[in-house]
Structure 1
Amino acid sequence: MFLSSLSLQATIRYARNFDIEEKDGYTLLTVRNTRVSPTQSYQYALVPKAAALPELLKDTRIIRTPVERVVVMETTQVGYLNAIGQLDRIVGAGSVEYINNTTILERVDSGEIKRVQTGQSINAEQLLLLRPDLILTSVSGNPSYDVPEKLMRTGLPIVFATSFMETHPLGRAEWVRFFGALTSSSAEAENFFDKVANRYDSLTQQAAVATRRPTVFCSAPYSGIWHMPSGDSYTARMIHDAGGDYLWAETQTGGNIPLDVETVFLRAAHADIWLNPSHHRSMHQLYAADQRFEKFAAAQKDQVYNNTRQTTERGGNPIWEDGIVHPDSVLADLIHILHPDLLPEHELVFYEQLR
């Protein structure tokens, strides 16, 4: 088989899990799934509907463009499409209870956008009836969360995204370029990302002038286990860029670190700031979960903050929708929390102080 050698690869600045290549007559997207294997990847050829099919490698999936009918399976995908003005393409949605975008929720309620998932159950029949040009979902390698194999066998145009595996905040945001390529909106995606990256870099430079870096720890126990983000995580990078001293910065596990309360207390008893304590939104809720939390200095000084400011009654949280594409706004919140003198006029967007 002869494959065209004409290729122009886009420069990806921060993301590590996707590539975009302009080929002769089509665009090739490569998605990596590093949770499964360093070499695990998926390829998608974006081919204009009016064009003949090119010669492709065996496992390359074909997506016909322009994509007009899109199904989103996770709320993060709503954030990416909203950033580039492509919400009108959505005809179906999963995980509706976690979606925060009012436009999408109104269209779901009116029936304009169809529900394709209830809990963990995916409605394959509804998906087939929608005749989507594209189904956007994520992949982790965990069968409990990933698209069922039987749905893969339907031949529907399913595209996996692994943006959640990015550890740099701008890496996750840069996936807007991937979504731009899928929806023929690359120029809009480039423009959006450049603005976000420039503001993020500017804020990082502001935080770097701080003479003191407050000590920080995160999370809260779930079923007796305290899952602390590792030092090479998205959360740790955010804290570093905001001018904080993350107490587990030296760990490099590529995920969360399972700890008990006693171990966390030994290291974080005198920490300045406590961030993201699970779902708790008040000190009363926090202490009701475990009275030992009162012993943390951060709790005693009312320096506990959670990214739950905009959480909805359904349980959705915009930080996983808008916050993913606007890490600059999340960073501004954290700088204001850690160094209020650097951004004195900033009003918190995603974070709230527990009272």
Structure 2
Amino acid sequence: MNRLIFFILSLYIFTGCANPEKKPDRRVSSNQNAHGFQIEKSGELTRLTVFNPWEKAENVSFEYFLVKKTATIPDSLTGRRVIKTPVERVICLSTTHLAFLEALNETMAVSGISGRQYVSNQKIRARMDQGEVPDVGYGQNLNYELILNQKPELIMVYGIGSEVTSHTQKLEELGVPVIMVAEYLEETPLGKAEWIKFIGTLFQKEKEAEEYFRQVAEEYNRLKKLAAGKTDKPKVLVGSPYRDTWWVPGGNNYLANLIADAGGLYLGKENPSHESYVISFENALAWGNEADVWINMSNLASKEEILSVDQRFKSFSVFNEGKIYNNIKRLSNHGGNDFWESGTINPHIVLRDLITIFHPDLTEKETTYYQEIE
């Protein structure tokens, strides 16, 4: 209902941009998996809408109007968020954004990043080393002077909470267009990947984005169907404690869905949330004795390192008799983990890895993101 009201209130602005003598065709995107954005086209204009772009946001939306650089901005868009396309200089405040640009062959458009140490993309790292792509900071530590010196045509941001709006507002006051990207909130792997369609519009690469996602979804669904035929589903324990607190994904989290699609039984699936939650060590011990597979335990790379966190892991049945795999095979020396970067846009490869772990008889592939812990 809220999205319907929002649509009605903004309809006049959108249709008013067109020639009143000839009403243009209006086309609204029909996402297959993603819920956090909408693409609407009317004539030469594109309107992007982002819904609830941070944790626990309710009835929050942002809209952006894309106007070709060769066109004149209509008077009806005065005071609206306008982005001139194709974007040729962009600052990315999340490494996942880089993965989308890599898939669209647009890494040369990157003129700034946040979190230098976490970047895995080798093309971007080479340009960082050459001084072409600086680290502009994040949140309260954003370097506004450096940002302006880079002359970005757009900054792609994400928000953990509503406080992000104070930073986006200041950037907009400085004349820098900003767009919210919230793929990380999607509950399914394909939902995350489908944001390539959203980002593709910024570079006038809608067709390329559609084709990329089509191929990814086709392969993902093929593998999912393959795993669905297995009746012996291994029970899966996820995570490890951080500073004595053990966070696990909710039962509707994208990782929980990945495990299910790979033919596994996630032991935290009874919690219906898509957000992470804390479990007690007693609960973890019970799951550790029930699990057949243990995955995603921070950056721990050996059983010795696991025991250095807590010697009580020796009592876990899965530690002694099960499989232990961690998503650190593409962990770099500088701290970046490509699982969280390119894995976002390649969920079919992550799914194949998990199927290889859960049901090795179904695949003949080496894992890409996961390595066995011994």
TM-score computed with the length of structure 1 as normaliser: 0.94
User: Shift in Å at residue 295 of structure 1?
Assistant: 1.3
In the alignment, which residue of structure 1 is the partner of 2:315? 295
Cα distance change, pair 16–146 in 1 and its aligned pair in 2 (3 A)? farther
User: Shift in Å at residue 250 of structure 1?
Assistant: 1.7
In the alignment, which residue of structure 2 is the partner of 1:27? 46
Query: What percent of counterpart residues are identical?
Result: 35
Cα distance change, pair 146–198 in 1 and its aligned pair in 2 (3 A)? farther
Higher helix share: 2
Residue 167 (structure 1) aligned with residue 170 (structure 2): no
Cα distance change, pair 52–118 in 1 and its aligned pair in 2 (3 A)? closer
SS across alignment from 2:155: strand
1:169-184 equivalences under 5 Å are: 169-184=189-204
Q: CA RMSD in A?
A: 2.0
Residue 338 (structure 1) aligned with residue 358 (structure 2): yes
User: Shift in Å at residue 143 of structure 1?
Assistant: 3.3
Instruction: Provide the rounded CA distance (Å) in 2 between the counterparts of 1:185 and 1:172.
Output: 18
Q: Deviations over 1:320-343 (max 9, x none)?
A: 111000000000000000001111
Amino acid at match of 1:346: K
Moved more, 192-201 or 218-227: 218-227
In the alignment, which residue of structure 2 is the partner of 1:61? 81
Cα distance change, pair 151–290 in 1 and its aligned pair in 2 (3 A)? same
Instruction: Provide the rounded CA distance (Å) in 2 between the counterparts of 1:347 and 1:73.
Output: 32
User: Shift in Å at residue 247 of structure 1?
Assistant: 1.1
Instruction: Provide the rounded CA distance (Å) in 1 between the counterparts of 2:127 and 2:136.
Output: 14
Q: Match for 1:91 among 111, 126, 138?
A: 111
Count the aligned residue pairs. Answer: 354
Cα distance change, pair 129–39 in 1 and its aligned pair in 2 (3 A)? same
Instruction: Provide the rounded CA distance (Å) in 1 between the counterparts of 2:13 and 2:136.
Output: 40
Instruction: Provide the rounded CA distance (Å) in 1 between the counterparts of 2:70 and 2:214.
Output: 32
In the alignment, which residue of structure 2 is the partner of 1:348? 367
In the alignment, which residue of structure 2 is the partner of 1:10? 29
Instruction: Provide the rounded CA distance (Å) in 2 between the counterparts of 1:146 and 1:301.
Output: 51
SS across alignment from 1:217: strand
Residue 201 (structure 1) aligned with residue 221 (structure 2): yes
Residue 222 (structure 1) aligned with residue 218 (structure 2): no
Residue 38 (structure 1) aligned with residue 38 (structure 2): no
In the alignment, which residue of structure 2 is the partner of 1:117? 137
User: Shift in Å at residue 150 of structure 1?
Assistant: 3.2
Amino acid at match of 1:185: K
User: Shift in Å at residue 298 of structure 1?
Assistant: 1.3
- Are the equivalent residues in 2 in contact too, given 1:72–1:78 (CA < 8 A)? yes
User: Shift in Å at residue 118 of structure 1?
Assistant: 7.5
User: Shift in Å at residue 222 of structure 1?
Assistant: 1.2
In the alignment, which residue of structure 1 is the partner of 2:6? none
Instruction: Provide the rounded CA distance (Å) in 2 between the counterparts of 1:127 and 1:192.
Output: 31
User: Shift in Å at residue 231 of structure 1?
Assistant: 0.4
Instruction: Provide the rounded CA distance (Å) in 2 between the counterparts of 1:230 and 1:133.
Output: 37
User: Shift in Å at residue 162 of structure 1?
Assistant: 0.4
Structure 2 residues not aligned, in runs of 5+: 1-11, 16-22
Q: Deviations over 1:81-102 (max 9, x none)?
A: 0001111111112211111111
Moved more, 39-48 or 136-145: 136-145
Residue 158 (structure 1) aligned with residue 158 (structure 2): no
Q: Match for 1:237 among 240, 254, 257?
A: 257
Amino acid at match of 2:47: L
Structure 1 residues not aligned, in runs of 5+: none
User: Shift in Å at residue 135 of structure 1?
Assistant: 0.7
Instruction: Provide the rounded CA distance (Å) in 2 between the counterparts of 1:351 and 1:267.
Output: 21
Q: Match for 2:267 among 224, 232, 247?
A: 247
In the alignment, which residue of structure 1 is the partner of 2:156? 136
User: Shift in Å at residue 50 of structure 1?
Assistant: 2.6
1:267-306 equivalences under 5 Å are: 267-306=287-326
Cα distance change, pair 338–25 in 1 and its aligned pair in 2 (3 A)? same
- Are the equivalent residues in 1 in contact too, given 2:89–2:110 (CA < 8 A)? yes
Instruction: Provide the rounded CA distance (Å) in 2 between the counterparts of 1:85 and 1:260.
Output: 45
User: Shift in Å at residue 57 of structure 1?
Assistant: 6.8
Instruction: Provide the rounded CA distance (Å) in 2 between the counterparts of 1:282 and 1:24.
Output: 57
- Are the equivalent residues in 1 in contact too, given 2:29–2:39 (CA < 8 A)? yes
In the alignment, which residue of structure 1 is the partner of 2:4? none
Amino acid at match of 2:357: I
User: Shift in Å at residue 313 of structure 1?
Assistant: 1.3
Instruction: Provide the rounded CA distance (Å) in 2 between the counterparts of 1:332 and 1:52.
Output: 47
Q: Deviations over 1:57-83 (max 9, x none)?
A: 787410011211111111101100000
SS across alignment from 1:115: coil
SS across alignment from 2:50: strand
Amino acid at match of 1:354: I
Instruction: Provide the rounded CA distance (Å) in 1 between the counterparts of 2:227 and 2:63.
Output: 39
In the alignment, which residue of structure 1 is the partner of 2:96? 76
- Are the equivalent residues in 1 in contact too, given 2:90–2:152 (CA < 8 A)? yes
Amino acid at match of 1:28: R
